[in-house]
Each structure stands twice: as structure tokens, then as C-alpha cells.
Amino acid sequence: MLVLAVFMTARTAIWEARYTAGNGTCIIQLPETAIWAPPSIPAYSEFAATFDHLPQTQPPNSRIYRLLKWDWMLLELLFYCLGSFVLVAPLYWLTRRANPDPVLHVTTWIGIGMTGSAVVCLVLWLAFGGWGPPAPLFLVSLGCSSALLLDSLRSPKRRRTTGCIVCRELTLMRWRVVRAALLNRNARRLKNLNTRFAIRTILILVTIAAVVAAFFAARHLPARQDDNSAVNRFYWHDYSNGVAKQRRESGWEYQGKINGLGSCVVLHHSNSEHEKYGQHGGYAVAFQLPLDVVEGDQLTLLPIPATRSGELHPHDRRFTLMLPNEFTATTFGDHFGSITAGSDIRESSVAVKKMTNEHVILHVQIDVSIPEYYDLKLDRDFTIRRVPSDDA
């Protein structure tokens, strides 16, 4: 059960992407993936689109990196272990004999300490509030230590032993093995004790090896990439309406989506190489399609008018809903630009080639020149994952 707990924790590792510049830090929560296949580090453009106070280009003294949240993973592992202890402890107390099993005995008392610390942690959270339970790892350590100390002091007979329950039980086991060997009266029992001790030792070594291998894989194995990873994010959102944002004098750019009567398609391509000086190639194209679009339709896309007033927000930001057949296009590399009134749009259309419940195949043609920035040319098929709406 402990090996399974370690595997489950390593399979759903918690990651963060952090952008740091000076004393400021911006955090984006990354998808939970296996520790041996970490998610890709997002490009600076994603931070700029998420946090409005960031400049359009990445400052030279800034840094973007991926962080493994080992403290949250350790807390998750403790929850798995707590479930194992709660399952094992009642069975052990009902079936134990005069000579307790050392491993199960220690496990049971650790479970008692973890349960008590969880209750204390929850009571403190309810009493004082806050973002979460206060100091969970510290309270768990304190609870486990207190439980083992309480067990070692709970009777005069136990006080005469080593004081550490692990050392005491191992000493008793070793004495039973030696006595059986010297007297030669119970060879079968000696063999069983040796076998049990060997199996427990192997399980402990396998658990330690699994943890070491998982952390080694996280550092040295390359991350897997697919069409919906951080490099390429292609999504078809059913029953959704795209939202565009305009900052100051820049063009309209895709901000997100809300529930609506239509389909919002997002094509986002970027990687960390695009952020280097002199590099480009990243783009984000979003367009709004009507609800009744079917396989075989070919639609002409129109840009959101630069003169649309939208809804005014602080910091000179405006938001607007994207109407059917409207699109936004943004290019980024070491520069960041979007469609404005001076953009030359030579081609903008989309053809629906195939539709299933899981995927849609679109042929997208975009040929746009953005003044003072890079041109965007797309003429290819996109296989896009279909994402249902929560309130369809």
C-alpha cells in the first residue's frame, strides 16, 4: 500500500510556472502530470496575456522556470498514507497476539498520530481561518512523534525496553531468532521469521528505490509533447463565446471565453525559443463560429473592427464579445503585435473538413501583415480537441 501511495503521488505531480523580475513573481498553475514527464515551460506571451501589468516584451533581467511543488506532493502522500493506516490499524488491533508485529505496531501508532494531527490542523483552520490548514507538515511530524513516545511510555513493562518502539521490537525479534537457532527446537518458526523480515526489508528498499527513481526521472528524462501541450494548444470550445481585449492603442487580442451560443476555436503555438532576441514564430489565433456549423462549411473570417467601443475597464482596457465569423490574430517572439486598423488582411477563412464528438479537423487560411511586427501566414489542417461546455 505504501508503494502504491508513492506511485500515485508521483503520477500526479503538482507543477507551477514562475516568472520573476526583480522582487515580483507571477505564477501560472501547470497541468498535473507524472513526475517523469513534466509539462513544458510556458512562453512569456502567456504570462503577458494573463497578467495585465507585464510589458509586451520580456525584460532581459527576468526569468521563467518550472517548479515542482514537493511540499504539496508530500502532503498528498501523507493523505494516502493516512488512508492506509486507517484501513490497517483496526485489522491489526483485532487480530494481534501477545507478541505484536513490529511493522504493523509502528504503522498503527503512526496512523494514530497522523489522525490526531489532522484533527488539530482542521480545528485550528476553522478557529483562525486562512488560505488553508496551518503548518500541516509540522503538525503531522509532531503528531507522529508524540504517538510513538506515548506508546513507549504507556506501561512500566515497556519503559524497561529501549524506549524507541522500532529498536525494541527489532531487538525482541532478533532475540527470538537467536534463541530458536541455539536451542534448535523450532527451525520452522526461525525460517518463517527470517522470511517475514526479508520481505519487509525488500518492501522498504523497493519504496526507497521508487522515490529515488522518480526524482531522477524528473530531472533527466525529457518531457513528452503532444498537440495540446504547452507548445501547441488547439481547442474547440462548444457552447462558448470568445472574449477579446484591447489595451490602449493595440489591436484586439483573444482574452478567454464564456458560455454562449456558438463555438470558440483557439489555435495557440509558442515555445521558449520564441522569446529570444531576433526569434519569432509564435502565434495565437481565435475565431468565433456560429452554433449551426456543420461538416463541409467554409466560412470567411473578419477581424474585430478597431473602432468598436467595447466595455471600458481600468488601466485603459476594453473588452468585447466576439461575434460569429470574427477572429483575432496575435504574433509574438521578441516582439508582440496584433491586428490593427493598418493591418493588411489578404486571406482569412476556415473550412470544416471533419467533425466528431472528440475532434474537429479544420483547414485554416490566414495571411495577415501587422505593421511593425511579423507577418502571420497559415495554410494548413488543424486537428483540434473538442472541449464541451460545463453548462451546455
Edge-to-edge, what's the strand order for the sheet holding 253-259? 253-259, 240-247, 317-321, 311-313
Alpha carbons 146 and 204: distance in angstroms, whole number: 23
Query: What is the β-pairing status of strands 376-387 and 232-237?
Result: parallel
Q: Which of 210-239 are b and which e, b meaning 16 or more Cβ less than 10 Å from the residue's Cβ?
A: ebeebeeebeeeebeeeeeebbbbbbbbbb
What pLDDT, on a 0 to 100 scale, did the predictor assign at position 291? 87
Residue 266's closest CA among 245, 295, 243?
243
Q: Any idea what the Cα angle at residue 218 is, between residues 215 and 222, rounded to 5°?
A: 155
State the burial class of residue 292 (Cβ atoms within 10 Å of its Cβ: 0-12, 13-18, 19+).
Answer: exposed
Residue 190's closest CA among 205, 200, 178, 199?
178
Whether pLDDT at 348 is above 80? yes
The pLDDT-based confidence of 336 (bands split at 50, 70, 90) is low
Write the pLDDT tens digit of every residue in 31-49.
888 888 888 888 888 888 8
Higher pLDDT, 387 or 74: 387
What pLDDT, on a 0 to 100 scale, did the predictor assign at position 160? 44
Residue 18's closest CA among 37, 38, 46?
46
Q: Contact, 74 vs 93, CB < 8 A?
A: no
Higher pLDDT, 114 or 200: 114
Higher pLDDT, 119 or 137: 119
For residue 238, the one-letter residue type is: D
Which run of H or of E encompasses 242? strand 240-247
Query: For the chain, which residues make up each domain, given as ranges?
Result: 2-71, 84-185, 232-387
Higher pLDDT, 26 or 182: 26
Alpha carbons 151 and 218: distance in angstroms, whole number: 39
Higher pLDDT, 275 or 329: 329
Higher pLDDT, 218 or 357: 357
Alpha helix stretches (DSSP H) within the chain: 2-11, 44-50, 70-95, 102-128, 136-152, 156-159, 165-183, 187-220
**Alpha carbon 331 to chain centroid distance?**
27
The pLDDT-based confidence of 180 (bands split at 50, 70, 90) is low
Does the predicted TM-score (pTM) go above 0.85? Answer: no
Whether pLDDT at 240 is above 50? yes
Higher pLDDT, 61 or 158: 61
SS3 379: strand
Give the mean pLDDT of 59-73. 81
Write the pLDDT tens digit of every residue in 131-179.
555 566 666 667 667 666 666 665 444 444 434 555 565 566 666 655 6
SS3 369: strand
SS3 297: coil
User: Read out DSSP for 254-278?
Assistant: EEEEEE-SSEEEEEEE--GGGGSTT
Whether pLDDT at 280 is above 90? no
